[in-house]
């Protein structure tokens, strides 16, 4: 194992952790969006039901309808605010993941360069040993 391999492993862990954090935030955004869609469906269904009740003569007090729809508007606003906060959080998480990924790629490049340098050094050392043993001629000692 070369000296950069441990660095690569640590940066892989950091990158995976950042990716998981981003995925969690994106999941919460998706869940919030689904809640907004569900709330809109519920509001639409209740609006239709209120119109049907009005047409059939079965009428609830107007204050109940007003309170319900005001509550729905308030809930939707709260969900939109949560979604906005989560999107900011997702942007921060995306940036952290991107930075971790960049550092991982740099460490991987360093590890590859170090491996290549070790191989060249090993070939050079082997050539030197073979030259000392008389197997290779002096012209091949520069490997």
From the list 12, 3, 1, the residue with the least C-alpha distance to 104 is 12
**CA count, 13 A, side-chain hemisphere, 105:** 6
| CA distances for 11 relative to 19, 96, 102, 142, angstroms | 12, 12, 9, 37
pLDDT attached to residue 103:
95
pLDDT attached to residue 4:
84
pTM of this structure: 0.73
Q: Which pLDDT tens digit goes with each residue over 26-74?
A: 999 999 999 999 999 999 999 898 888 777 777 777 788 889 999 999 9
Collapsing DSSP states into helix, strand and coil, what is residue 2? coil
From the list 79, 77, 93, the residue with the least C-alpha distance to 33 is 79
CA distance 56 to 33: 35
pLDDT attached to residue 140:
52
Domain boundaries, the chain: 5-106
């Amino acid at each position: 194992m070369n000296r950069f391999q441990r660095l690569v492993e640590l940066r892989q862990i950091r990158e995976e952790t950042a990716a998981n954090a981003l995925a969690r935030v994106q999941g919460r955004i998706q869940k919030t969006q689904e809640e907004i869609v569900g709330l809109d469906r519920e509001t639409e269904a209740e609006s239709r039901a209120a119109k049907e009740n009005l047409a059939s003569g079965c009428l609830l007090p107007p204050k109940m309808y007003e309170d319900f729809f005001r509550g729905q508007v308030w809930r939707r606003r709260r969900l939109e605010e949560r979604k906005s906060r989560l999107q900011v959080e997702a942007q921060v998480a995306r940036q952290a993941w991107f930075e971790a990924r960049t550092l991982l790629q740099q460490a991987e490049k360093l590890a590859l360069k170090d491996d290549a340098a070790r191989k060249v050094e090993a070939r050079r050392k082997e050539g030197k040993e073979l030259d000392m043993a008389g197997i290779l001629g002096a012209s091949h000692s520069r490997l």
